[in-house]
Amino acid sequence: MGKDEEINKFVKAIEQSFEGLNPKTNWPLNGAQIDSYFDIDEGLDMYYRIKKLRETKTTKEISDMLPAPDVIRIFLQHNAIIGLKVAKKLRIDEISTEDRTDYTLFLFDILREKVKGDIFCLDGKNSLLDKEEVKEILNSTKWDLIEDMQDKRKISFLTVMGNNVVYTTLFDTYMTGGFYLHGPYDASEKFGTGAILVVRDYHDLCPKTLWPDLEMPYKKLKILAIYKNLDLKINFVNHPITKDSIGDKLIAYKIYLDDKEITLNKIDELTELFHKVSSTQTKRVNAWNDLDKVRMGAKIAFYLFKDFREKMGDNWIPENEIEHTIEKFGDEFIKESAFKENEIPDLEHWKRIFDPRDDYF
């Protein structure tokens, strides 16, 4: 595949992801309102780190140092490209369009190391498992079968509350840093025609580094769900796309809490805990002023690559630089990036802003 063709596919994935998306609904602020305070810092930091690593390490070795593919995708849809464009526009750093494009293509290579299928999810799948891994899960799991609508409701409520925990601890725009969907995988060999496996991986339920007093006793939750005759797609930004009622199509499941199987009897207690935690988080963040929301948003963005930076022997967040920007500009970027009534950018804006070949910003 040629370079332009690959970038065109990425731009197509961005277009599909932003169709119907209303950034005004992002909580607690929209992505631009938060990112504008550190887009250059994060963009340049990651660019030069990876550039240095490419001198001595293979793509596979660098990939192994980096977080999950859906975190890389978050970075691509936030500051990987935009941060470099802003730095060039403000003459802070003159990274050329060619170098920016080469860097973007390398990030695609990183995704290719981590993903088993289409890295852009244009086929409607986020394939993190290969066929043999899926087969092993299907055949070795002692599946719990759905017996009635009450079972389906319990699983649905748990899913919603799990989403809310991550939503309120990692914010809307960085949510896959704590939770991502993958699949759908073909499960017809085990469960018959039209059966699919979808995995919900809540891999960071308790980010104590960000929230030291978070009252969450569990670190992770994984829900393996088998659906029958569900038309479900997952796009580049990890949003599920379907016109069907997902819960109604559930036929079997298996839930792991901190790697231990749990039964349906545990779900009510867990759902109540998740509801309590997310409600507390919502009230806490809503009580903050907007600049404090920006401070935490910046911390979350850098937290997603915490392990990567620490593997390189460095502090994981440049707090002084971010605070300097906040003190210098106050709420200027928050006001500038607020979407007014009927002023949401069209798809052409999003396609151009994320295209590394285009200096548009």
Q: Is the pLDDT of residue 103 over 90?
A: yes
Q: What is the pLDDT of residue 19?
A: 86
Higher pLDDT, 22 or 122: 122
Domain boundaries, the chain: 3-122+289-353, 131-284
Q: Is the pLDDT of residue 21 over 90?
A: no
Q: Is the pLDDT of residue 8 over 60?
A: yes
Q: Is the pLDDT of residue 24 over 80?
A: no
Question: Per-residue pLDDT tens for 228-271?
Answer: 999 999 999 999 999 999 999 999 999 999 999 999 999 999 99
pLDDT tier, 212 (very low <50, low <70, confident <90, very high otherwise):
very high
Average pLDDT value for the chain: 96
What distance in Å separates the CA atoms of residue 197 and residue 187, rounded to the nearest whole number?
6
Q: What is the pLDDT of residue 184?
A: 99
Q: What is the pLDDT of residue 25?
A: 78
Question: Per-residue pLDDT tens for 114-166?
Answer: 999 999 999 999 999 999 999 999 999 999 999 999 999 999 999 999 999 99
Higher pLDDT, 263 or 342: 263
Q: What is the pLDDT of residue 339?
A: 74
Q: Is the pLDDT of residue 342 over 70?
A: no
Q: Which sign does the torsion angle of CA 247, 250, 254, 259 carry?
A: negative
Q: What is the pLDDT of residue 341?
A: 55
Q: What is the pLDDT of residue 248?
A: 94
Q: Averaged over 60-74, what is the pLDDT?
A: 98
Q: What is the pLDDT of residue 343?
A: 72
> What value, to the nearest 5°, has the Cα angle with vertex 282 and ends 247 and 342?
80
pLDDT tier, 1 (very low <50, low <70, confident <90, very high otherwise):
confident
Give the whole-number percent of the chain exceeding pLDDT 70: 98
